[in-house]
Homo-oligomer: A and B are copies of this chain.
Amino acid sequence: MLQIIFYVAVVAEAMTAALAAGRRKMDWFGVCVLACVTALGGGTMRDTFLGHYPLTWVADPWLLVICCAAALATIALARFMAALRWPFLLLDALGLVVFTIIGCNVALEMGQPTIIVIVSGLVTGIVGGILRDVLCNDVPLVFSSELYATVAIVAGLLYTYGLQFGIVQDALIVGVVLIGFALRVAAIVFKLEMPKFVYDKDIR
């Protein structure tokens, strides 16, 4: 179940990355690389940090094929994408929570302490988007737009403490996905943002 939503989320991430690549006028190869980096970069960085080998996509190389296929499909379907804004935002919200839970599970299986479990979920959820923005030469969106990382942190906290309080894992996953999803959608609809820190003196 989590695995199926994971594949759906990978596809959704790859497709939004392809659109970002198109905005930078990348060629088809660049579109595929950006799709793979965005969809799989979070898990790759998590596994590198934790020394958790083999990486997900090395163990299951079809993920790369899926990302490239999703990216090329996006090129073919580009004219319809504007109409699909909301489906994408919803899939992306779903993916964020699912990536987070999967990341928490990896750290839990390694017996990491709670802070690392939360960070592992967070890294899995948001680093793909950060790498996408760095490769597109932007300041990462996640550092300044509507609640996104916060959703990952909240989902990670609920999941980790839910398990510690003995809630059945399947029920917990459903609950965390619903709450995280609702929080992210609310953030988009109501433009919920973290307070910004604006500093304009040049002290260095």
Contacts and interface: CB of A to CB of B under 8 A. Distances in A.
Contacts of A137: 137-139
A49 B48 CA distance: 8
Interface in A128-151: 130, 134-144, 149-150
Interface string A87-128: 010000000000000000000000011011001000000000
Given A115-B65, A150-B29, A198-B25, A203 B144 contact: no
Interface string A38-62: 0000001000111101110010011
Interface residues of A, number: 68
Most buried by B among A30, A84, A113, A116: A30
B203 A28 contact: no
Interface centre among A88, A140, A200, by most B CB within 10 Å?
A: A140
Contacts of A201: 81-82
Main secondary structure of the interface of A (DSSP, over half): helix
A120 to B, nearest CB: 9
Nearest to A203: B85
B194 A143 contact: no
Nearest to A34: B143
Nearest to A58: B116
Contact of A197 (B22, B49, B62, B88): B22
Interface string A67-84: 000000001001001101
Interface of A: 16, 18-31, 33-34, 44, 48-51, 53-55, 58, 61-62, 64-65, 75, 78, 81-82, 84-85, 88, 112-113, 115-116, 119, 130, 134-144, 149-150, 193-204
20 contacts: A25-B196, A26-B139, A26-B197, A28-B194, A28-B196, A29-B150, A30-B142, A30-B143, A31-B197, A58-B112, A61-B115, A64-B119, A75-B197, A78-B197, A78-B199, A82-B203, A85-B203, A88-B203, A134-B134, A136-B139
